[in-house]
Structure 1
Amino acid sequence: MSFDSVHFFVFFLIAVLILFFMHKKTRMVWLLACNYYFYMCWNAKSALLLAFITLCTYMAGRLLENIKEEKMKKWTIAGCCSVSFFVLFVFKYFNFFVDSINGLLNMAGGGRPIGLRLNLLLPIGISYYTFQAVGYVIDVYRGEKAEHNLIKYAAFVSFFPQLGSGPIERGRNILCQLEELKTRNLWDYDRIKNGILLMLWGLFQKIVIADRLALYVDTVYGNYQNYGLLVIATALVLYAFQLYCDFDGYTNIACGVAQIMGITLMRNFKRPYFATNIRDFWSRWHISLTSWFKDYLYIPLGGNRKGKLRKQLNVLIVFCVSGLWHGASWNFVIWGALHGLMQVLYNLLSPLKKEKNISFSTNLRNGIITFAFVDFAWFFFRTSSLQEAFGILGQMTKEVGDFTSILEVLGDGDRNLLVAGLLILFIVDFVHEKGISIINWVKKQETWFRYLLYIGIISSCIYLGVHWEIDEARQFIYFQF
């Protein structure tokens, strides 16, 4: 049940209306039922795995709260993390691990290959809810209060707006808001209106920009032998915006849905392509994952407390693991390693060059360099294998090619709409980068103007959703992680 489907909007409308008008003390049970219905629409059997991780981490949290001996606490947290990550390993990484060992044996010229492979369907959102649940347990180990209400905790782990692709939330942020559902009045006109606008903006990013860019990008990557340097390089740049609009679009829809239901999710993006260095980029891109790795991997590894060399090693480890988190492929490991190496390089060189009174041209230069690197790294993120990656790189060296050969993928109308969409995206992000809230600006306008704008946005989304044929719609990219 994708966020941009009719099925979802019917489900969401029913879920919200009942949530609003039902008895306050029964809201949690209804929300949990909605969460599991949403998840079971993808794969009913995978819900058992979600329930298992929920029960495992819930019991670990309760045990950690009651255990006084530090040694037993460490055994408990180690056991819970081991079980949770073992489940993730089996479903997501086992075959990759076996293939990698067989590849090494083949390169060494000896050894009997491992024939065991698991034919398992990767459950939607398993990386997200596993990290969210494990993060909660670690927080309890560090002294935060454990949740005693199993229904509320299960609703936290399975909260459907962010179950598929995040943000990866913290218990301290969501559990207290879930508790308030028992007492608060959910009818808040401004909050609901803002949530709807956020959803519409996310749908615009997904339907108008990301799905149309996907046609260009998928055509080039799927038939790269037919194109030269210009077309492939253009597809690489377009993929950067496809990925951003796809993932940020999902996040905005998720945050809008949650906001209507009375829950505020953390911000996951902050205009990443306006970053002027690689550290700045990672403070803007997939913020919830970045903060998770910082709190639960980088700091436990020693952070920056064990000397400069150890700090850089920790950074490199974190980014390689981050790459592996995204997918069971050496392409993702290379992507993570590239970002890790660039972070290390930035950490080593930035103290040597302290610029004062940074000009617009300096920021522009730094921004272009940062985007160029990030975009190059996305190349390994997009390709399905190292063989494909090197094949495309080889094709780029053969000929420059004719740029106009790719323009026929979209008709004139859709192509013009895409250009207009990208222009609107730039304007909106630029305005927000300058600290101006578009929603607050809209609020200040006269009533007739505001409602005319709302009707126009809603009508456009409905028209585009119907006009954009169903076989051309794309699943959200980060669902595969």
Structure 2
Amino acid sequence: MGFTSLAFLGFFPIVWLVYLLLPGRLRAVWLLVASYGFLGTFGIKYLAVLIGSTGVTWAAGMTLENNGNIKRLDSKQVSETGLKTSAGAKSHGPAAAVFVAVIILHVAALCFFKYNRSNIALPVGLSFYTFQAIGYLADVYCGTIQAEHNLLNFALFQAFFPKLVQGPIERSGNLLRQIQNIETLSARDPERIRRSALLLLWGLCEKLLIADRIAIPVNAVYSQFGAFGGVEIILVTVLYAFQIYCDFAGYTDMARGIAGMLGFDLLANFKRPYQADSVQDFWRRWHLSLSSWLRDYVYIPLGGSRKGRFRRAVNILITFGVSGIWHGTGVHFLLWGLLHGVGQIFDIRNWKLPRWIKRLLMFLFIDATWMVFRVNSLGDLKGMLLVILTNFRLQDFAGMQLGSFEWILLVLGILVVSAKDVLNEKGFAFRGWILERNAVVRCLIYTALIGAVLIFGVYGAAYDTSGFLYTQF
């Protein structure tokens, strides 16, 4: 039951209306039931994995706190050392043994489901809630937070359905704190509902009008690249940059909109990534919950940039290598991560170039690495590069399976998203502008967006709504 399915269209209004009617702590119970029901539609076995992971993590957190050899780090220590152990967080004794054992268990389970060669499918959301669990345990172990004693609260923290399938990878200081204070959340605030509903609607547009339409030519060319020329390969590679952006950002906007209507504020995951002028800047804008997780729980514990340039370079490569293999089993995912690591080591941020040129160079670099990310194997990557070098011509444009009108819609969608990001970068907030209009204008805008989704979101014989891309990771 994905966010774009008819089943979810019936599921969420019921969950939301009942939630609004319930008092206090009963809201948490209802949301946990709804979240488990949501995941259960993908398969009961996936629900069993989540419940098992939740129980182990909660028990481990309680054990770490009750061990008694961990002191709280103050905010200054945390900012200076990240998760590096210090005099305030001892790295020996039973707590360390429990911490290491449970982290190994989580990583082993993730690797088993993700990299096994049998027909066992990857449980929905496993990569996301596993990283969330590891981050929670690391925070408890290092004393930056207290363990959650209420199992209901922690179970909801792990299972909260808006962020369950594709994140964001939440932190206990954000989502868990809101769950602990669920009685005070302003779920009935009309202004919050309007803002959240508009964000949900925009996410639907990103996914159904842009990402899924771009998927048609991208899938056609990448699945049979030998039938196309180099021009088509480069064209769909550029398009893929917008497909994965609108797909993943669309999911995040929908998740934040759904959570917002329930009174929760999820972490933002994107900040106009193609406006970046360096690799480092890109990762401050793209998949923020993952990049900050890798920084706090991999890069900084390895030593960060505190031990010289060579060690910094090694730490960066390890961190981006972890990012690569988190995304998938193929060697091309690892290569994609390492390319970003090399790009950050030899970053262009200090080059004396106009900012627009840096942005252009960055987009070309990011887009080239998206090709590595998108291919099915290194063999396919080699074959596609060979086609580009030896057959750079337009060979079978019709084989990309879009009609003229659909190409127009695709280009318009990309232009709208790009213009929105450029204007947002300059400080203009579209959502705020819309919400400031009178009721008639707002209704016209809402009607136009809904109409576009209903009419153009199902346009064309080759068109079909696909699953969100990051679900597979």
Q: TM-score, normalised by structure 1?
A: 0.90
Indicate the residue corresponding to 2:263 in structure 1: 262
Distance 2:162 2:456 in 1: 23
Indicate the residue corresponding to 1:101 in structure 2: none
Distance 1:206 1:326 in 2: 20
Q: How far did residue 469 of structure 1 move?
A: 6.9
Q: 1:90 aligns with which of 112, 117, 125?
A: 112
Q: How far did residue 378 of structure 1 move?
A: 0.7
Which shifted more, 203-212 or 172-181? 172-181
Distance 2:49 2:263 in 1: 27
Indicate the residue corresponding to 2:455 in structure 1: 463
Indicate the residue corresponding to 2:225 in structure 1: 224
Q: Which runs of 5+ in 2 are unaligned?
A: 70-89
Q: Tell whether 2:416 aligns with 1:416.
A: no
Q: Which amino acid aligns with 1:328?
A: T
Q: How far did residue 463 of structure 1 move?
A: 2.8
Indicate the residue corresponding to 1:26 in structure 2: 26
Distance 1:468 1:47 in 2: 36
Q: Tell whether 2:456 aligns with 1:480.
A: no
Indicate the residue corresponding to 2:147 in structure 1: 146
Per the alignment, do residues 341 and 181 of structure 1 end up closer, same or farther by CA in structure 2, a change over 3 Å counting? same
Q: How far did residue 52 of structure 1 move?
A: 0.9
CA contact (8 A) 1:135 1:292 kept: yes
Distance 1:321 1:299 in 2: 14
Q: How far did residue 470 of structure 1 move?
A: 9.7
SS of 2:202's equivalent?
helix
1:28-427 alignment to 2 at 5 Å? 28-69=28-69, 70=90, 71-95=93-117, 118-143=118-143, 144-346=145-347, 353=351, 355=352, 362-402=354-394, 405-406=397-398, 409-427=401-419
Q: How far did residue 403 of structure 1 move?
A: 6.2
Distance 1:430 1:22 in 2: 42
Q: Which amino acid aligns with 1:202?
A: G
Q: How far did residue 421 of structure 1 move?
A: 1.2
Q: Which runs of 5+ in 1 are unaligned?
A: 96-117
For residues 59-83 of structure 1, give each alpha carbon's deviation from its aligned partner in whole angstroms, at most 9, with x where no partner exists.
1111111112342111111011011
Which shifted more, 455-464 or 20-29? 455-464
Q: Which amino acid aligns with 2:361?
A: I
Indicate the residue corresponding to 1:450 in structure 2: 442
Q: 1:441 aligns with which of 430, 433, 437?
A: 433
Per the alignment, do residues 157 and 407 of structure 1 end up closer, same or farther by CA in structure 2, a change over 3 Å counting? same
Q: How far did residue 178 of structure 1 move?
A: 1.2
Per the alignment, do residues 479 and 27 of structure 1 end up closer, same or farther by CA in structure 2, a change over 3 Å counting? same
Distance 1:468 1:283 in 2: 37
Distance 1:470 1:408 in 2: 10
For residues 420-465 of structure 1, give each alpha carbon's deviation from its aligned partner in whole angstroms, at most 9, with x where no partner exists.
2112111211111111111221233233212221222223223334
Per the alignment, do residues 252 and 350 of structure 1 end up closer, same or farther by CA in structure 2, a change over 3 Å counting? closer
Q: How far did residue 50 of structure 1 move?
A: 0.6
Runs of 4+ in 1 over 3 A off after TM superposition: 464-471
CA contact (8 A) 2:227 2:396 kept: no
Per the alignment, do residues 467 and 127 of structure 1 end up closer, same or farther by CA in structure 2, a change over 3 Å counting? same
Distance 1:272 1:184 in 2: 31
Q: Which amino acid aligns with 2:119?
A: N
For residues 323-367 of structure 1, give each alpha carbon's deviation from its aligned partner in whole angstroms, at most 9, with x where no partner exists.
000001101000001111111112xx756x5x4xx7xxx111111
SS of 1:315's equivalent?
helix
CA contact (8 A) 1:26 1:182 kept: no
Which shifted more, 283-292 or 72-81? 72-81
CA contact (8 A) 1:25 1:183 kept: no
- Over the matched positions of the two proteins, sequence identity in percent amounts to 40
Q: Which amino acid aligns with 1:480?
A: Q
Q: Which amino acid aligns with 1:131?
A: F
Q: Which amino acid aligns with 1:279?
A: Q
CA contact (8 A) 1:125 1:479 kept: yes
Q: How far did residue 280 of structure 1 move?
A: 0.7
For residues 386-407 of structure 1, give each alpha carbon's deviation from its aligned partner in whole angstroms, at most 9, with x where no partner exists.
1111111122222122267247
Q: How far did residue 259 of structure 1 move?
A: 0.4
CA contact (8 A) 2:185 2:264 kept: no
CA contact (8 A) 2:128 2:166 kept: yes
SS of 2:264's equivalent?
coil
Indicate the residue corresponding to 1:111 in structure 2: none
CA contact (8 A) 1:319 1:340 kept: yes
- Report which of the two has the higher share of helix: 1
For residues 149-197 of structure 1, give each alpha carbon's deviation from its aligned partner in whole angstroms, at most 9, with x where no partner exists.
1011000001111111111000110112112223445211111111111
Per the alignment, do residues 444 and 23 of structure 1 end up closer, same or farther by CA in structure 2, a change over 3 Å counting? closer
Per the alignment, do residues 469 and 231 of structure 1 end up closer, same or farther by CA in structure 2, a change over 3 Å counting? closer
Indicate the residue corresponding to 1:109 in structure 2: none
Distance 1:395 1:439 in 2: 43
For residues 189-237 of structure 1, give each alpha carbon's deviation from its aligned partner in whole angstroms, at most 9, with x where no partner exists.
1111111111111111111111111101111111211111111111110
Q: Which amino acid aligns with 2:100?
A: A
CA contact (8 A) 2:65 2:141 kept: yes
Distance 1:224 1:280 in 2: 32
Q: How far did residue 94 of structure 1 move?
A: 3.8
